[in-house]
Chains A and B, each alone.
Chain A
Amino acid sequence: MAFRGNTGAARIARTGLLTAAALILSYIEGLLPPLTAVPGIKIGIANAVSLFAIACMGAGEAAAVHFLRIILAGIFAGRAVSFIYSLAGGAVCFAVMMLLRRSFGGKRLWILSVFGALAHNAGQMAAAVFIVGRAEILWYMPALVIAAIIAGSATGLLVQMIISRLGKGKIV
């Protein structure tokens, strides 16, 4: 696959390609009706691209793909408050996944994905408590934890399948 290469141009192309893919996924997900009545519960399918980048690429490229998507999706959606939640969740999620990525690879990538999803919801919840100013909204946490485990496993298993289909070690 012509996806390898470590020149500056190859990296820029790769980052741009993955960011575009993530933006499309996040846009399509945004068109779907909310899954549940509880706010903040969604599949987060665009995070599959971030997970792929974290699993297969260097830290800098992974950070670029992850944060560029969050920032651009925030600009396209044009909602400042939602953007704060996305960025808070995204930053915590990225930090946790980068810390744990050496421990959970291959057939265990879905575990990394679940930890990322849990971290994402924790970061979002922290921002929500700060903005709404009420600790009681932490009662949403149990629902968010269950959702993170389901959504995280799903996106994680998806990325595992993609990586094994593309061929291990031949991707980047």
Chain B
Amino acid sequence: MSREEYRDKKRQWPYIALFAAAAAVCALLMLSGRAAPERPRADIYVGGSLYKSVPLYGVSSPYEIELPGGVLLVEEGAVSMKRADCPDSLCVRQGRITAAGASIVCLPGGIYIVITGDEAGTDGISG
């Protein structure tokens, strides 16, 4: 091994450490911020503006919502994309989301669905 190669090899370590640390922080971020909400709602955005907000509690029987670019299935405590008009349908493969802060994004359709927790419910626990 030439001196340059040896030096290059050693000079990788700071970056290995940097990338490992970044990955660890990101993994922690992914695991946190998923606190279970009380009385969740699903906010549906199409093209950046609020299209509809539906409660995810007291849903006695699952129902579907027609969106421009797909069909959303609403169940008790969960939503999922049942069908999407885009070819890869990644949002459909993602399946059901249940936790507050969890979201479904359908980029081709400009659809963004996020589950929000009920403020009063959170206060009821923390207070």
Contact = CB atoms under 8 A, between A and B. Distances in A.
A114 B21 CA distance: 14
Contacts of B107: 39-40, 81-82, 85, 128, 131-132
Interface stretch (B52-60, B85-93, B119-127): B85-93
B48 A142 contact: no
B12 A111 contact: yes
Contacts of A81: 107-108, 110
Contacts of B22: 145, 149
B49 A133 contact: yes
A137 B112 contact: yes
B110 A131 contact: yes
| Majority secondary structure, A binding face | helix
B42 interface: no
B36 interface: no
For chain A, give the interface size range. 20 to 34
Contacts of B47: 132-133
Interface in B89-113: 90-91, 93-95, 101, 103, 105, 107-108, 110, 112
Given A107-B8, A108-B12, A132-B48, A139 B103 contact: yes
Contacts of B114: 134, 136
B63 interface: no
Contacts of B90: 34, 37-39
Contact of A39 (B8, B27, B105): B105
A107 B4 CA distance: 10
Contact of B8 (A82, A108, A139): A108
Interface string B16-42: 000100110111011001000000000
B30 A133 contact: no
21 contacts: A34-B93, A37-B94, A39-B107, A79-B86, A81-B110, A106-B5, A108-B8, A108-B11, A108-B15, A111-B12, A131-B110, A132-B105, A132-B107, A132-B110, A134-B112, A137-B105, A139-B33, A139-B103, A142-B29, A146-B26, A146-B27
Closest 7 CB pairs of A and B: A133-B48, A142-B26, A37-B94, A142-B29, A107-B8, A39-B90, A145-B26
Given A106-B5, A133-B47, A139-B33, 5 more contacts: A39-B105, A81-B108, A132-B110, A136-B112, A153-B19
